[in-house]
Structure 1
Amino acid sequence: MKIIYHCFGGTHSSVVAAALHLGWIDPHRLPAPDELRSLPYFDRRSPGMEGWILFLGRDRYNNEVYVVGKRGMGETFENLIGGLTQALDLPREEVLLLNTSPLVNWLMAVGGFLSRRLGITLLGRPLVIWGVRRIFTRLVTFVQECRLLWEINR
């Protein structure tokens, strides 16, 4: 199975959710800022990389875990991927799309804009990290609730 976490830019909530999924972050304690900064692609994609589906690793069930930024596509993104899997004759149940966008708070939105869009990482990155730490328990819950979706398909 291919599990794709997606959000607006593919650099914050989706990356942290995928890291939780892969066991790179302990879900039982708040990650330190340096832990977040060290995650692959965390606050590092350049403008124009949205839409690139990036592989992060395999989970313990051998599922492939990816992240992607969808910009303003909203639900259109999931329709596009669903149509693509159908066109390529892939079983729809082999691709699981997990939208982390509803979990994003204003700190992450403003920080992401400053850091990724305007290149002001000195201001934006600390805001994003603060925002991620504020919603961390919600990200943990999201990943734990979604876990059933890929465990069933083992």
Structure 2
Amino acid sequence: MKVIYNCYGSAHSSVLAAAIHTGVLPHERIPTKEEILNVPHYDKTDTEEIGTIYYFGEDELGFKVYIVGMKGSRKIVKRAIFSTLKHLGIARTELILVDTLPYVNNMTLIGGFLSRGLGLISIGRPLTVYGLQRSYNRFVNLVGDVKERLANLQ
């Protein structure tokens, strides 16, 4: 079983969820700005890399965790992923796709646009961190639900 956290640009919310899932970020408290900024891939994905699936790490049960950005084409990208699995003879049940975009607040959206979209990193990056800190517990709950689902599969 593999888990792919997906968002708009694979730079913020999918990275945050994958970091919580793999234990890079804590689940029992809101991380500091520095902890979030030190997460691999955080606010680093360039536009031409969107759509690339990146391996993030492994969780405590041995499940592999990935991230991907899908821009505004989530339905198309998901269809492409699942049709590729079908053609490769891999069951659709071997993969869990988790959309993290619904857990993002406006502060993170604006910061992401400024940082990744306009290249105003010094303004946008701090906004993304602040926004994700404000909605952090929602991400912890999302990851907890995913982990519970994985545990029930064993």
Show the 5 A alignment for 1:1-154.
1-154=1-154
What SS does structure 2 have at the residue aligned with 1:35?
helix
Q: Could you report, residue by residue, the CA deviation over 1:97-128 in whole angstroms, capped at 9, with x for unpaired residues?
A: 01101111111111001101111101000110
Shift of 1:83: 1.2
Question: What is the one-letter code of the residue matched to 1:50?
Answer: I
Residue type of the partner of 1:97? L
Q: Work out the CA distance in 2 between the residues paired with 1:28 and 1:140.
A: 8
- 1:16-52, CA deviations, whole angstroms, 9 ceiling, x for partnerless residues? 1011110111111110000000000000111111001
Matched letter for residue 128 of structure 1? T
Structure 2, unmatched stretches of 5+, are none
Whole-angstrom distance in 1 between the partners of 2:136 and 2:76: 27
* Secondary structure in structure 2 of the residue aligned to 1:112: helix
Rounded Cα–Cα distance in structure 1 between residues aligned with 2:63 and 2:118: 35
- State the shift of 1:75 in Å: 2.5
One-letter amino acid matched to 1:82: F
User: Aligned-pair distance for 1:77?
Assistant: 2.4
Distance in 2 (CA, whole Å) between partners of 1:29 and 1:37 is 16
**What CA distance in whole angstroms lies between the structure 2 residues aligned with 1:117 and 1:72?**
14
Report the residue type matching 1:153 in the other structure.
Answer: L
How far is the alpha carbon of 1:152 from its aligned partner?
A: 2.1
Identity of aligned residues (%): 36
**TM-score normalised to structure 1 length:** 0.96
Q: For the residues of structure 2 that align with 1:153 and 1:48, how far apart are their CA atoms? A: 35
When the two chains are superposed, the root-mean-square deviation of aligned CA atoms in Å is 1.0
Give the letter for the 2:89 counterpart: D
Please state whether the residue corresponding to 2:89 is helix, strand or coil.
Answer: coil
Measured after TM superposition, the shift of residue 78 of structure 1 is 2.0
Which structure 1 segments of 5+ residues have no match? none
The number of equivalent residue pairs is 154
- SS of the equivalent of 1:152 reads helix
Deviations 1:77-102 (A, max 9, x none): 22221111111110111111011011
CA distance in 1, matches of 2:36, 2:132: 9
